[in-house]
Structure 1
């Protein structure tokens, strides 16, 4: 079967952010569609290396070529050595740049700014794909004639987690039948491919005010408001590495508080969600003793819901107990 088109820079496939020019059409398109895979990373060199190695295994079956843009959101450039060593023998072009301001929205914008081609894909630095990942997304997007396609993110535990984590399925995310139309609250950027032309008149794809979380939901909300349709492809799976330090109650509750605190930044259903939280906080609070007796996973699940809604109410009065996401 035909190989992916090899696209290389003249200095080991690497460019530095301040001297970077976007890849032009001649470099990326050639005789077939081109996908640019965007990866934003922050102090996860080992996971980034694994992701890049898995991208080497992508089987395009000659349907498209692809390249990679990596945005290091660490001003100390902790990912640089990994990228430099990987590109020595890589079969695809890797472009490295730095966004020194620690903000996931700004990092995503930097990636888009320095990417080119017909399609843009996003995958997180703590994930890795199956060999059919890009092809499944690409084929679904073409066959259904939609703006973009999302796929499942399945947990990959580095070590066996506590029993309550397995029982509660806290790292498992909802899945849908292939072709299912995704709504804004179901959309994420951990596994997505979309047509680049949907950004033609968009000045700021991801809004910096979201900072730590929620920038992806806001992105899809605005894209969908313009009439763009996104669907699900259940066969285009990636795996999210879940290290032991995430398998704690503290991690899950901090994540819930952070998620709740961002609701004010979303204009959709703001009043409705606030009203729900006013009712939900006392109700979940009253059920906590019962859930404690029912078992750890029931207790933690209820406590997560409590923190989600409590985070909303605290945000209304200007309190934000969690100011940045755990990595």
Structure 2
């Protein structure tokens, strides 16, 4: 008699009034399931009213995996992410956004990388899908897709739009997202930065794709500018935690120099849209770093999401 307990992978989906939730869940219904594993989906509804409950119930018969619905009202994304962690009962917890579609081999690839590297967290790439109405420079330059950043040959922080967490890891167990960042964003950057600083390893599964449509509201320079600035603010705030006195002043000076260089490079590329916007947005990110180092509070991002 075989009493071996199957591995369980929970999939956390945080949602706030998005019609795309249905499509995201249906993509999970046709996932390739890793051998010897079973899947369980946790939907954390971050709306003040339980707006996603009826839609989830309507989909249960279509999706071959258990779905746990959790209502966590507050319009605070950290509360929703923590609800997924609190309700996870599996060996691993994967996160995917409610406006993303998973590729068929998504979890197979993430789990293979986790087993091979023994990492505490494994990131996958997010491929953006542009409509024909998006600006040419944006589509050709692919300004929205998400990949990890390597520093000194290692990944030092991460994101929750495509990740697998090893729940029994001492660097993951008991760790939670910062509620103070639940309306601004940056809670995932802080989560993974602190995890790494305390010895947690982060790996990358290059074939573990998820796909994210770029909506009309995001297909503009203003949206990209706001997001890059906020990224910089989060990084600056983390640097502020790590540096005091002259070291903090040195970090401010370095960020200012980088911003000036990027703006000058953008000006030099005035007739070439892709490098122009790439340098300008990078300059905004470094300006955000200065803002974070000076203690300016991050701009609000969540709780005002586009609603269906």
Same fold? TM cut 0.5: yes
Change (3 A) 1:282 1:207: same
User: Residue deviations 1:65-118, cap 9 Å, x none?
Assistant: 010101111113332232121113321111111221222222111111111111
* Residue 308 in structure 1 maps to residue 285 in structure 2: yes
Question: Tell me, what secondary structure is at the counterpart of 1:240?
Answer: strand
* Residue 156 in structure 1 maps to residue 129 in structure 2: yes
User: Residue deviations 1:218-257, cap 9 Å, x none?
Assistant: 2222222333322111121111121122110111111112
* Equivalent residues of 2:234, 2:298 under 8 A apart: no
Match of 1:6 in 2: none
Shift of 1:216: 1.4
Shift of 1:175: 6.6
> Which of 43, 52, 73 is the aligned partner of 2:46?
73
User: Residue deviations 1:258-306, cap 9 Å, x none?
Assistant: 22222343135783642322213333344443332x2232332222122
> Which of 240, 244, 249 is the aligned partner of 2:212?
240
> Which of 270, 279, 283 is the aligned partner of 2:257?
279
Question: Tell me, what secondary structure is at the counterpart of 1:198?
Answer: coil
Q: TM-score, normalising length from structure 2?
A: 0.85
Aligned pair count? 294
Shift of 1:200: 7.8
> Which of 186, 202, 227 is the aligned partner of 1:214?
186
CA distance in 2, matches of 1:225, 1:102: 29
Shift of 1:61: 5.1
Match of 1:229 in 2: 201
Match of 2:90 in 1: 117
Q: TM-score, normalising length from structure 1?
A: 0.80
* Equivalent residues of 1:311, 1:320 under 8 A apart: no
User: Residue deviations 1:163-194, cap 9 Å, x none?
Assistant: 110232212334799xx975224x21211112
> Which of 198, 201, 206 is the aligned partner of 2:169?
198
CA distance in 1, matches of 2:33, 2:172: 30
* Residue 87 in structure 1 maps to residue 65 in structure 2: no
CA distance in 2, matches of 1:264, 1:209: 16
* Equivalent residues of 2:189, 2:234 under 8 A apart: no
* Residue 299 in structure 1 maps to residue 299 in structure 2: no
* Equivalent residues of 2:171, 2:198 under 8 A apart: no
* Equivalent residues of 2:42, 2:87 under 8 A apart: yes
Q: Which moved more, 1:127-136 or 1:311-320?
A: 311-320
Shift of 1:317: 4.6
Match of 2:15 in 1: 41
* Equivalent residues of 2:236, 2:290 under 8 A apart: no
Root-mean-square deviation (CA, aligned residues, Å) is: 2.8
Change (3 A) 1:91 1:201: closer
Change (3 A) 1:200 1:182: closer
Please, which runs of 5 or more residues in structure 1 have no aligned partner?
1-28
Change (3 A) 1:63 1:246: same
Change (3 A) 1:144 1:201: closer
* Equivalent residues of 2:42, 2:68 under 8 A apart: yes
Shift of 1:203: 4.0
Please, which runs of 5 or more residues in structure 2 have no aligned partner?
none
CA distance in 1, matches of 2:197, 2:296: 30
CA distance in 2, matches of 1:121, 1:142: 14
CA distance in 2, matches of 1:188, 1:223: 12
